[in-house]
């Protein structure tokens, strides 16, 4: 495990091969199939990610918040008990965790997926010279998946002018040193979302990937991800003990660290931008 943790710290991402055994993969994949079918049928009912969104037609590349009651499937909770996945997360973040996000990604049907260069949480200027991460984000690849592109090491230094121009213009151009990560079904890609990255993929080329983010329970930055659904009456009681504890830690941390009004407004604007975006060539970026 250590060699992978070193890779993650040094490069800002690491691909760990063959983490998810075939039978588990089939079960998780079926759960993502069900989520994709529900979202494709009624995209307006969910926090859907689009490559195309007009009044007449839509095409989608995933959905945010699969732990929302309308999408929740107990199978998703199994990810947080998988020793291969969680062994890595604990090695980086320690034992006590808090939940940030869990999303599902798939291939669009007709309009190619081209997500612009960015760092997550609208933290374009954030980096850490020693490679320390405030979180572990990971793609659990349930099919072969060549969609993730990253500039290795960009989590440890300021952006170059060229990178900044791409990030600020919501560009999808080629960047010096960028790497396409080529994952096989069953691999897990662990990433630091402060490494400059983007996604891309052809319509119709199958993709089923879980996209998850966790933090250490007392991480001082990030957080504020106690989504409304987590606070609904009885919701946490329906979760597995592991998920319940991570979400309870998120709620406790958020309550103890209220956001300033300015930061609340900044995040609201960022979230509106993300909800409205179309991840396609010439789209409106995120």
Ligand X SMILES: O=C(O)CCC(=O)C(=O)O
Site residues for ligand X per CB under 6 A: 105, 115, 120, 139, 147-148, 197, 199, 211
Minimum distance, C-beta of residue 147 to ligand X, in the bound complex (Å): 5
Minimum distance, C-beta of residue 237 to ligand X, in the bound complex (Å): 30
Minimum distance, C-beta of residue 70 to ligand X, in the bound complex (Å): 20
Task: Considering the complex, state which of residue 53 and residue 235 has its C-beta at the smaller distance from ligand X.
Answer: 53
Minimum distance, C-beta of residue 46 to ligand X, in the bound complex (Å): 15
β-strand 208-216 against 97-106: which pairing, if any? antiparallel
CB 106 within 8 A of CB 211: no
- Dist CA 8 CA 100 (whole Å): 19
Q: Which residues contact 209 (CB under 8 A, 6 or more apart)?
A: 32, 104, 105, 106, 139, 140, 141, 142, 143, 145, 147
Task: Considering the complex, state which of residue 108 and residue 131 has its C-beta at the smaller distance from ligand X.
Answer: 108
By beta carbon distance, the residue nearest ligand X is 199
Torsion of CA 164, 170, 173, 175, to 10 degrees: 30
Task: Considering the complex, state which of residue 104 and residue 247 has its C-beta at the smaller distance from ligand X.
Answer: 104
Task: Considering the complex, state which of residue 195 and residue 217 has its C-beta at the smaller distance from ligand X.
Answer: 195
Task: Considering the complex, state which of residue 4 and residue 61 has its C-beta at the smaller distance from ligand X.
Answer: 61
Minimum distance, C-beta of residue 48 to ligand X, in the bound complex (Å): 13
Q: In what order do the strands lie in the sheet with 197-201?
A: 113-114, 197-201, 145-150, 179-183
Task: Considering the complex, state which of residue 39 and residue 105 has its C-beta at the smaller distance from ligand X.
Answer: 105
Minimum distance, C-beta of residue 137 to ligand X, in the bound complex (Å): 9
């Amino acid at each position: 495990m250590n060699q992978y943790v070193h890779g993650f710290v040094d490069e800002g991402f690491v691909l760990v091969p063959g983490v998810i055994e075939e039978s588990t993969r089939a079960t998780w994949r079926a759960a993502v199939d069900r989520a994709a079918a529900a979202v494709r049928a009624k995209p307006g009912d969910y926090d859907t990610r689009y490559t195309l969104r007009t009044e007449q037609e839509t095409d989608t590349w995933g959905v945010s918040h699969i732990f929302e009651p309308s999408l929740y499937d107990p199978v998703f909770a199994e990810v947080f008990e998988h020793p291969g996945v969680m062994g890595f997360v604990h090695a980086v973040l320690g034992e006590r965790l808090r939940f940030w996000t869990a999303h599902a990604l798939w291939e669009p049907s007709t309009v190619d997926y081209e997500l612009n260069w960015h760092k997550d949480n609208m933290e374009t200027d954030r980096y850490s010279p020693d490679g320390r991460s405030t979180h572990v984000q990971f793609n659990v690849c349930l099919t072969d998946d060549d969609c993730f592109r990253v500039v290795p090491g960009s989590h440890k230094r300021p952006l170059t002018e060229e990178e900044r121009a791409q990030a600020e213009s919501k560009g999808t151009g080629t960047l010096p040193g960028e790497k396409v990560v080529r994952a096989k079904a069953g691999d897990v890609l662990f990433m630091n979302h402060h490494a400059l990255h983007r996604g891309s993929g052809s319509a119709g080329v199958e993709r089923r990937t879980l996209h998850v983010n966790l933090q250490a329970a007392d991480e001082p930055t990030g957080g504020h991800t106690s989504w409304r659904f987590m606070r609904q009456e009885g919701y946490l009681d329906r979760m597995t003990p592991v998920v319940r504890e991570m979400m309870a830690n998120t709620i406790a941390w958020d309550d103890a660290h209220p956001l300033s009004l300015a930061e609340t407004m900044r995040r609201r604007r960022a979230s509106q931008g993300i909800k409205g975006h179309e991840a396609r060539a010439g789209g409106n970026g995120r």
